[in-house]
Amino acid sequence: MDCRWDEALCIEKMNELCKTNDYPTAFFAASDLMAMAALNSLYNNGISVPDQVAVMGLSNIEVSSVEVFQSSVIDDSCTNQRNRHVSS
């Protein structure tokens, strides 16, 4: 789902999806911030993470290490370093 990197839009779209009761068993978010927005919506809709749905974010920002979020993350620091070297 395209949330255009907008947390409020992500929550809105996730809320709509949760109401259908026809959602996937896992979400991969393009950033930890979008993953946290998705988690916010899942929790508010009574959907248990990770029991009912798994959430994974990309970037491994510091706040994603807080246990309340219950998501997996991918640390993209190697990718960012590679991109800096390629563009130099």
Q: What is the pLDDT of residues 21-76, one digit of tens each?
A: 999 999 999 888 899 899 999 999 999 998 999 998 887 655 545 544 555 555 66
pTM over 0.95: no
> To which residue do tokens 């896992």 refer?
26
Backbone angles phi, psi at 66, to 5 degrees: -70, 125
Amino acid at 5: W
Instruction: Give yes or no for a cis peptide into 50 (omega within 30° of 0).
Output: yes
* Under 8 Å between Cβ of 36 and 69: yes
* Under 8 Å between Cβ of 60 and 32: yes
Length of the chain: 88
